[in-house]
Amino acid sequence: MQLYNTLSAEERAELIDQAGKQRLTLSFYAYAKIENPKEFRDALFLAWNRLDALGRTYVAKEGINAQMSVPAENFEVFRETLEAYNFMKNIRLNVAVEHDDHSFLKLTVKVRDKIVADGLNDETFDVTDIGVHLKANEFNQILEDPNTIVVDFRNHYESEIGHFKGAITPDVETFRESLPIINEQLKDFKEDKNLVMYCTGGIRCEKASAYFKHQGFKNVFQLEGGIINYAKQIKEENLESKFIGKNFVFDHRLGERITDDIVSQCHQCGNPCDNHTNCENEGCHLLFIQCDSCKVAMENCCSAECQEIIHMSLVEQVKLRRGVKNGNKIFRKGKSDKLVYKHSGDSRAKIEQTVQLSNIALSTFKNPTAIRQKIKIKKTLLGKAAHYFTKASVGLFIIENKELNVGDKILISGPTTGNEELLLEKMLVNGAENTVAKQGDKVTFALPFRIRLSDKLYKLNT
C-alpha cells in the first residue's frame, strides 16, 4: 500500500499545470469518537490519493480537521469518501471564496493527540454542550445588539488583516492562549451579555463555546462555518458584510479577500497593505506583511540581515542554520523588532492582552501587480540527476520529458542543492557534443556546484 507522497511539491505543481483542470480549496471538521485513528488515517490517505486530493489533515480520537485541494471533477466522489463514515453524514464542506490550483501540493494526513491544540482537559466538561450556531444573517443581527460582545478566536497575524467590526482580538499566537485571557476579561459579564465568537472555519469556536458555557457564561453563540461560510452566505443572500478585509488561510494563498477594505499596513514602510510574505531567508521564514515596493527592495526579506544571508552561497547558509530550530516559525512567529509598523501583537498591546484593531479602511484593494505573480515560476520538468563527477565538476542527467536545447535557461532543484539557475551553453548527449537532447538521452555538462541524486532538472519558460 502506498501511504506516502511519491512526488515533490515541484513535480506535483508541474502535473497540475499540465492537467489544466480546476481544483477547489475547501476545509471541514467533525468531532467524533474514533477508536483507531491510525487505521482511519490510512484509509483516508488511500481513498484521497486515488482522487488526486491534496492537503493537510489531522485526525485524533476526538475527530478530524482538514484543509484540502480537490479536483473539481472529483468533488462529489470526495464527499462520498467522507460520508462513508456515519459521523460525517451531510458534513458541511467550507469551499473557499478564492481558488488557487497550488493551494496545497502534498497530501498529509497525520495522527495527533487533538485536532486543535486547545490545551483543555476534555474530561472536565461536556464538549458536546456547545453554543448556539448562527447563520450570516443572524450573526449580523446579534452584532447590532448593544449587549453583545464579539470575540475573534484567531491569532494576531490572522485578525490583523481582517476582522469583524468591533471585535475583541486577543494578542495571542495560539488558540489555547486566548481562552484564559477572554475568560478573565469577561468574567463580570457572564450573566447579562451575549458572548459571540468566530474563527476561520468554525472548529475553534466549537470547543471554545462549550468551554465558556462550562465557565458559567449564559448566552454563548458562534458563527456557523466561520468566516469562510459567512463570506459565502453574504454573497448568496446579498447581505451587508460586517467583516472587513481579508480572511487569513493556512495554505499557499495566505489569505482570501472578503471585502476590498485594506485595514493593515506594510510592516516595513507603513503603507496600506494586507499581503503576507514568508521571509526568503530559510533560516528565518518569518511571516509578515509586505507591500510590493518593499518586496522588490528587500527581495522578500524581513530585514537587511536576512537580505545579506540570501546572497551567501548555499553552503554558507546551511552552516548558519545548523543547530537552529526553525519548526513552526512560519505561522507562529509573526513578530520581530525589525518590523517597525507591526502593531497587532506588539509589546504595547501586552498591557491588556487584546487589541482593538481599526474598523476603518486605510485603503481599497486594487488588482495585484505583476510582482505578486513571481511566486509562481513557470518551469517544465525535464529529468533527474544520475551522477556527479567530482574531479571534473560535471553533472549527469537523464531526460525523461520534453527536450533540452543548448541556450535554454535551466533550473536544478533539490532539498540540499536548493534552487540553482544557469544558462546551458554546452552539453554532451550520450557521450557526444550535441545541441539537442530528447527523452531517454543521457546528458552531461559542467556545473559550478555539486548536485545530488535527489535533484531535478527543469527548463525555465520565458
Write out the catalytic residue numbers.
199
Q: At what angle do helices 136-143 and 226-237 cross, to 10 degrees?
A: 100
What are residue 142's phi and psi, to 5 degrees? -70, -25
Long-range contacts of 210-216 (CB under 8 A, 24+ apart): 210/125, 210/126, 210/127, 210/128, 210/129, 210/130, 210/131, 211/118, 211/120, 211/125, 211/179, 212/131, 212/182, 212/183, 213/129, 213/130, 213/131, 214/124, 214/125, 214/126, 214/129, 215/183, 215/190, 216/190
Task: Kindly state the cell numbers that stand for 50.
Answer: 486515488
Task: Kindly state the cell numbers that stand for 141.
Answer: 443581527
Contact 82, 88 (CB under 8 A): yes
Q: What is the DSSP letter of 322?
A: T
Alpha carbon of residue 459 to chain centroid: 27
Contacts of 323 (CB under 8 A, 6+ apart): none
Between the two ends of the chain, the Cα-to-Cα distance in Å is 40
User: Helix or strand or coil: residue 459?
Assistant: strand
Which residue do the cell numbers 464579539 mark?
Answer: 150
Q: Angle CA(381)–CA(460)–CA(424) in degrees, nearest 5?
A: 100
Distance, in Å, from the CA atom of 462 to the CA atom of 253, rounded to the nearest integer, reads 24
Distance, in Å, from the CA atom of 450 to the CA atom of 283, rounded to the nearest integer, reads 21
Which residue do the cell numbers 548536485 mark?
Answer: 451
> Could you tell me the CA-to-CA distances from 169 to 31, 126, 180, 198, 209 in Å, in that order?
26, 26, 14, 11, 16
Residues forming beta bridges with residue 133, ordered by sequence position: 222
Residues forming beta bridges with residue 363, ordered by sequence position: 262
Distance, in Å, from the CA atom of 174 to the CA atom of 435, rounded to the nearest integer, reads 56
- The amino acid occupying position 215 is Q
Task: Kindly state the cell numbers that stand for 435.
Answer: 545541441
Query: If we measure between CA atoms, which residue out of 137, 54, 148, 132 comes closest to residue 100?
Result: 54
